[in-house]
Amino acid sequence: MNNTVIIWIVLPALLGLALVLIQRQTKLSAVLGSLIPFVLTVLAVVFSKGLTLLVLGRYFILVDSLVIFGRTIQITADQLGIIALLYFLCFAWNLLSGLFKVGHWFNSLSLIITALWVSVQFINPFLYSAVVIELIALVSVPLLSPRGTPARSGVIRFLSMQTLAMPLILISGWMVSGIETSPSAEAIILRGSLLVIAGFSLWAGIFPIHSWLPMLTEESHPWIISFLQTIMQISLAIFFLKFLNQYAWLRNLEEIKLVLKWIGALCIISAGTMVVFQKKLSRILGYLYLSGTGYIVLSMAFQQQGWLDVLSLYLLPCVFAYWSLGYALSLLREALGSEQIDFSELSGLIWRYPLISVLLLCSLLNIIGMPLFSLFPSHRIIWSILASESLTIRLLISIGLLGMITMVLRVLGMMVQPPEVTDQDKKEKPVFIVPVVLIVLLMVLSGLFPQIFSAPIQSLLISFQNLLL
Amino acid sequence: MTEFLQSLPVYIALLAALLNLVRRQWTLNLIALVVQFACLFPMLLKILPLQLALIQPFTGLMVTLILYLTLLGVGGIKAINLLFSLTSGEIFRGLAGIFLLAILGTFLPQFQQAVFPLVPSNHLFLSIGLVLIGLTQLGTISEPFYLAIGMLTFLSGIELLYSALEYSFLLEALLVAVNLLLAIVGAFFIVKNAESESA
Amino acid sequence: MILFAILGVLFLGSLLIMILHSYRPNTARSWVIAMITALIAWVASFVLRLYLPTQVNLITWFPGTIFKESLGFEVDYLNWPYMVAVLSMSVAALLTDTTRSDPGITPYSWAQTISITGLNLIAILAANPLTMAIAWMVTDLVELLTLVRLSKAAELGSKIVSFFSIRILSTFMLTIAASVAWQGQPFAGFEVMQPNTSLFFLIAAGLRLGVFPLNLPFLDSPELRWGAGTLFRLTPAASALVLIAHLPAGLTIFNQNLVNIVQILTLIAAFYSSLMWLTRKTNYEARLYWMVTLSAYAIQSALNGNPEASRVWGLALLLSGSLLFLFNPPIRRIRFLPMLGLLGFIGLPYTLAASGWEGLVQETLKFTSVIMIISHAFLVLGYIRHIIGAESTVTGLEKYARITFPLGLVTLIQTILVLGLVGWPGVLTIGDLRGSLGSLSLVLIGLLIGWQFGFRVEMDVLSQKIPFYRLISVVFNFFRKALSLSWVPGLVKRVYTPVAGLAGFFSQILEGDGGILWSLVFLLILSILFLAPGLR
């Protein structure tokens, strides 16, 4: 029990399995589902300074590695920041899961999925993590496709894409294993990089292989899909950093920066363009994830002084932005009794559900990076760095951003339309005012004082020594 | 003759995969899947010790068993109808599969030399062939059972290829877990569809 | 300290009114609180004049990195006059509200008046574009919520969206401009605005000035026509004008052709709007053209390399404009009070706007300068016409209203005079006599002609007297339609439908049964692009 791998991977996975047994007791399951990741987060923060802790005169010393099937899995104190972030994410989503109809599996599977994502970051050799990612996709199925509904195409497409990605990463590892001694290193490097990029593209769903993203968000409960997608996006970003950190040939490849820039720009413009024509809020969520991926990729493309800081500053506000949007959409889904939240159902929303409307509007403005809100400071840095880029990339990103603004205006337009339904009275519970005000306040405060989010995660990516330029 | 006998499992496995691609008849498809997994064994035996060579075919058989039991539960197992005429869709899929295999066969030597020089050509042909047929299966249908077969075919090709490249117990364990989970997910989808159809 | 006191007083006052009124409604008490709050802030703003320039750093983002940025306030000679102007407008609006009986005038509207003044002050006093963008966003959101609350009865849904669209676009443009202007080094103030990015900043300011669309919607609402409506319309323009005043003098260095195009467009806008201002029937109808004309002057000053000269035109827009628009009900016997508003923009030597001619009239008198002088004359004539044309006799006014209403107008006049004397070093100047005297002569001629017509513009008389009247009216109608942007929704719809169809088709292909194969094809194409040596 005094092993970091057991505490943050094995134990949570086992506890997640145990939660399956009590999943019918929804309240207990929700409480434990929130408590366990919270405790793990706190422990990760406490031990991130060092694996020795003195409590009441007694020393707690953690061992940092475990051997499984002849392979060593190691989690050092430096890396506990990443673990804290992932478990905090799990805690944040589990905390409010009791408010929505997310099914009995959510608390247990979210814990197992988080444990698996943590293991992805630390399995050695790290290329084998590709298989764990496939396992995560498979474990997510009961959440994405609950019983009582037919198997829909989005979840199947998602599974297919994740399955296709896995071998690309596995083979890339084998291909570049003898790169130092190979006479034709350049060709192998290119092939290896191509496989890595293609694998990550399939995993993250970048343009034009993003089709599963809007399909999946359309079919799933916003609270579930926002959890799965957020943890996936953040974990994949960190996992890609691991590739860059580990492989000097990938990091130093000139083309990689250009390719990342183009991938980022294409994700942002495609999301911005497609989002303008959507008629369902649920699908818009998918495109917002596509755009988010674009920003993360872009921030990785500019490997200059302090870029890793920028990325780590981006992650927590990003999590918060998805969390608040997921919360707003879930509230809306339950309030309207609509699965996909069609635009036509939004007419007069601002008078029927003023608090949810305000929350939705602020969350959308936040996620597209408008001033005043929490994502603005880091988005602004990315835009500023782009200023020195080619006009085409700048133009693509500006158009993407304009598309996102248009989407927000369309949503607002629908909200302030005279309601079609005859009953125009306010239907909202007054109690909503507390969480809505708190969330909007936090959004604004962290937009004005980015330190609120940046201070706790300042040393998040410190373990990537090779990337700290 | 020896060469032909050595290549026989390759052709049988590919034929079984092609049959799964072309014909949509659950019982027939399950049998083809078993044949496909069984044919992996002689190929694996050439490069791995017996105990290790058994893992993948055995997992395949377990996977097929899970699917079989599920289909049995939803009343999907029926007698095989051998007297059938091919539909245009089946002809198209069959031709597409053969075309892909033909192209693969044509460019295999160059591909082998450039990318996988250490993998025997038969081994490479079967693994890439399975990958291609699996991908075609994934791209041409949205029915959960066939998608599960497509993914399993694709994965078996990849596993076969990877076993010739390097071997790891950890990876093998993870891949077995993936295969079994995939079968469970496939079964889950089959049951869900059956439930919603009956509702 | 004084700065924070001003902002604090405004927000606290607003909060106090809301809380007290929701528990124990008392209109008189609310008005007194609003009045005291606004007065304290107004007086304090004059005290601030003694400490110019002052800078307050609020927060530093990302210290120790190259991305270090600061949020803060700065009060200097460029924005202090705007600050005083906005606070004066707030005081005047509260004082003149006492004579109006619109249903929209409630303690909540007074709370809004002072809180929106406070929010706009944050934007006006912003030390850099970043702070300004944030302040703009806050102001827009507050105004949006206010409008939504008002619009239920009026059903202004789509109009609110067009209002918010323009505002959010201006914020977007400002953010992009500030990002493009970033030179890879930390910055603290408006010095980040280099000539090569000035045009972006100018567009951001232009959008916020309320120039587009011309028929800005929410003023149609009876609740917002006067008082708070005047503030809603005019005060957001103040921060945009501050932005223009901060533009670098070397704007013309950047792409002269593009600058020329903007200059010609501004010239047309100024001329057209001043003529419309002169000829509209009521000042409510003409209000928009007042804004457009003076905004065009401000922009023209910046384009001519004299951004500081834009300050006087901006102040005229706010002070003389609100003096006229708050003169409602237009009581005949005190018509001389708004007439004094002429001092704010007539541009005669030693008046407030004397220094503004430098921005409009170039050293060598060019065609553009002549157009500007004519346009200015139209503006003055229109102002006089709207005052003379406004006549009503109000009976049954409360005793206090007989004092507060003129007092509100006097507040604005007094501000014009004070700013004309001590607004900034060098404010007392002769100015360009070619401009001021030229405009004055034209005004006198116009007044003579007006005398002939009895200061009434009858359309049928005009059509008979003016040569090529039909052609001119066609041209004017074209301009009116083009600038109102009423054609935009139709055009957007036309473009949107086929493009949406195309996007839907694309989605259908990617999400259909063959989607996986399509994805693989795309992946293959991208891989080839990556590997092909010629394309790398």
Q: Which two tokens stand for residue A126?
A: 């790290």
Domain boundaries of chain B, sorted by first residue: 2-76+87-198
Asked if residue C329 has a cis previous peptide bond (ω within 30° of 0), the answer is: yes
Residue whose tokens read 């475990």: A66
Residue A61, SS3 per DSSP: strand
Q: Which chain A positions have a beta carbon within 8 Å of C184's beta carbon? A: 388
C42 occurs within a structural domain? no
CB atoms A412 and C164 under 8 Å: yes
Residues C432 and C371 in one domain: yes
Q: Which chain A positions have a beta carbon within 8 Å of C61's beta carbon? A: 377, 450
Beta pairing, strands A65-68 & C69-75: unpaired
Structural domain range at position A437: 125-467
Please give the Cα distance from C93 to C405 (Å, whole number).
9
Q: Does B189 touch chain A (CB under 8 A)?
A: yes
Tens of pLDDT along chain C (536 residues)? 888 999 999 999 999 999 998 888 888 899 999 999 999 999 999 999 998 888 888 888 887 777 788 899 999 999 999 999 999 999 999 998 877 766 667 888 889 889 989 999 999 999 989 999 999 999 999 888 888 877 665 566 677 888 888 889 999 999 988 888 776 666 667 777 777 778 888 888 888 886 655 555 444 555 555 566 677 778 888 999 999 888 887 665 566 777 788 888 888 888 988 988 888 877 777 888 898 899 999 988 988 888 889 999 999 999 999 999 888 777 878 888 889 999 999 989 999 989 999 888 877 778 888 999 999 999 999 999 888 876 666 666 677 777 888 999 999 999 999 999 988 888 888 888 898 999 999 999 988 887 776 655 555 666 666 667 777 778 777 777 776 667 777 888 888 888 888 888 888 888 887 888 888 888 888 888 877 765 45
Residue B94 identity (one-letter amino acid): G
Asked if residue A125 has a cis previous peptide bond (ω within 30° of 0), the answer is: yes
- Nearest-by-CA chain A residue for C165: A409
Please give the Cα distance from C181 to C202 (Å, whole number).
13
- Nearest-by-CA chain C residue for B142: C513
CB atoms C138 and A386 under 8 Å: no
Residues A94 and A156 in one domain: no
Cα of C27 to nearest chain A Cα, Å: 27
CB pairs under 8 A between A and C: 141
Please give the Cα distance from B44 to B27 (Å, whole number).
27
Asked if residue C53 has a cis previous peptide bond (ω within 30° of 0), the answer is: yes
Q: Tell me A100's DSSP state.
A: S
Residue whose tokens read 């004055």: C440
Counting other chains too, the contacts that A303-308 makes at CB distance below 8 Å and 24 or more residues apart are A303/A251, A303/A257, A303/A467, A303/A469, A304/A385, A304/A469, A305/A469, A305/C65, A305/C66, A306/C65, A306/C66, A306/C67, A307/A469, A308/A241, A308/A461, A308/A464, A308/A467, A308/A468, A308/A469
Contacts of C350 (CB under 8 A, 6+ apart): C420, C428, C429, C430
Cα of A142 to nearest chain C Cα, Å: 22
C517 occurs within a structural domain? yes
Please give the Cα distance from C280 to C385 (Å, whole number).
10
Among B residues 103-162, those touching chain A with beta carbons less than 8 Å apart: 115, 131, 135, 138, 142, 144, 147, 150-151, 154-155, 158, 161-162
What total of structural domains would you count in chain C? Answer: 3
Residues C329 and C477 in one domain: no
CB pairs under 8 A between B and C: 16
CB atoms A156 and B142 under 8 Å: yes
Residues C414 and C385 in one domain: yes
Residues C527 and C431 in one domain: no
Q: Does C531 touch chain B (CB under 8 A)?
A: no
CB atoms A156 and B169 under 8 Å: no
C220 occurs within a structural domain? no
Residues A101 and A133 in one domain: no
Q: Tell me C57's DSSP state.
A: E
CB atoms A198 and C155 under 8 Å: no
Burial class of residue C483 in the structure, from the number of CB atoms within 10 Å of its CB (0-12 exposed, 13-18 middle, 19+ buried): buried
Question: B150, B138 in Cβ contact below 8 A?
Answer: yes
- Mean pLDDT is lowest, of A124-128, A241-245, A285-289, for A124-128
CA angle C47, C49, C54 (to 5 degrees): 110
Please give the Cα distance from C219 to C229 (Å, whole number).
7
C161 occurs within a structural domain? no
What total of structural domains would you count in chain A? Answer: 2
Q: Which chain C positions have a beta carbon within 8 Å of A402's beta carbon? A: 172
Please give the Cα distance from C266 to C299 (Å, whole number).
7
Tens of pLDDT along chain B (199 residues)? 677 777 888 899 999 999 988 888 888 889 999 999 999 898 888 888 888 889 999 999 999 999 999 988 887 777 777 667 778 888 888 999 999 999 999 998 998 888 888 888 889 999 999 999 999 988 888 788 888 999 999 999 999 999 888 888 888 889 999 999 999 999 998 888 888 777 6
- Nearest-by-CA chain C residue for A362: C141
Q: Mind listing the pLDDT tens digit for each residue in A254-289?
A: 888 888 999 999 999 999 999 999 999 999 999 999
With contact defined as 3+ CB pairs under 8 Å, the chains touching B are A, C
Residues A353 and A434 in one domain: yes
Residues A140 and A97 in one domain: no
Counting other chains too, the contacts that B165-170 makes at CB distance below 8 Å and 24 or more residues apart are B165/A171, B165/A174, B165/B116, B165/B118, B165/B119, B166/A174, B166/A177, B167/B48, B167/B52, B168/A69, B168/A71, B168/A128, B169/A69, B169/A70, B170/A68, B170/A69, B170/A70, B170/A71, B170/A123, B170/A128
Please give the Cα distance from B69 to C306 (Å, whole number).
84
Question: A267, A393 in Cβ contact below 8 A?
Answer: no
Residues A132 and A116 in one domain: no
- Nearest-by-CA chain A residue for C536: A255
Question: Does position A442 have pLDDT exceeding 90, yes or no?
Answer: yes
Please tell me which of the candidates A128, A139, A164 has its beta carbon nearest to residue B174.
Answer: A128
Q: Does C520 touch chain B (CB under 8 A)?
A: yes
Residues C462 and C357 in one domain: no
Q: Among B128, B146, B170, which would you mutate to test the A interface (most chain A Cβ atoms within 10 Å of its Cβ)?
A: B170
**Better-scored residue on pLDDT, C286 or A412:** A412
CB pairs under 8 A between A and B: 87
User: Domain boundary residue among A94, A124, A154?
Assistant: A124
Contacts of C174 (CB under 8 A, 6+ apart): C129, C132, C133, C136, C201, C204, C243
Cα of C318 to nearest chain A Cα, Å: 27
Residues of chain A whose beta carbon is less than 8 angstroms from a beta carbon of chain B are 68-71, 123, 128, 131-132, 134-135, 138-139, 141-142, 145, 147-151, 153, 156, 159-160, 163-164, 166-167, 170-171, 174-175, 177, 191
Residues A220 and A257 in one domain: yes
Residues C421 and C357 in one domain: yes
Residues C346 and C444 in one domain: yes
Written as one string, the DSSP assignment of C441-482 is HHHHHHHHHHHHHTT---HHHHHHHSTTHHHHHHHHHHHHHH
What is the reported pLDDT for C534?
Answer: 54
Structural domain range at position C421: 258-309+323-396+410-455
Please tell me which of the candidates A145, A150, A163 has its beta carbon nearest to residue B151.
Answer: A163
Spatial CA neighbour of B156 closest among B5, B18, B20, B33: B33
Tell me the ipTM for this assembly: 0.89
Q: How far is CA C466 from the centre of its chain?
A: 33
CA angle A440, A446, A450 (to 5 degrees): 165
Please tell me which of the candidates A276, A387, A416 has its beta carbon nearest to residue C148.
Answer: A416
Residues C421 and C477 in one domain: no
Spatial CA neighbour of A278 closest among C511, C520, C487: C511
Residues A111 and A149 in one domain: no
Please tell me which of the candidates A131, A132, A160 has its beta carbon nearest to residue B138.
Answer: A160
Sign of the Cα torsion C178, C183, C188, C192 reads negative
Q: Which two tokens stand for residue B126?
A: 């079967």
What is the reported pLDDT for C141?
Answer: 92
Number of alpha carbons in the 13 Å side-chain half-sphere of residue C320: 30
β-bridge partners, A68? A71
Contacts of B70 (CB under 8 A, 6+ apart): B76, B186, B187, B190, B191
Please give the Cα distance from C36 to B89 (Å, whole number).
83
Residues A39 and A131 in one domain: no
Residues A102 and A204 in one domain: no
Q: Cβ of A98: how many Cβ atoms within 10 Å?
A: 16
Residues C339 and C304 in one domain: yes
Sign of the Cα torsion C224, C230, C235, C238 reads positive
Residues C342 and C330 in one domain: yes
What is the reported pLDDT for C180?
Answer: 81
CB atoms A194 and C530 under 8 Å: yes
Question: A325, A226 in Cβ contact below 8 A?
Answer: yes
Q: Which chain B positions have a beta carbon within 8 Å of C515's beta carbon? A: 139
Please give the Cα distance from A363 to A358 (Å, whole number).
8
β-bridge partners, C59? C71
Torsions phi, psi for C331 (to 5 deg): -75, 125
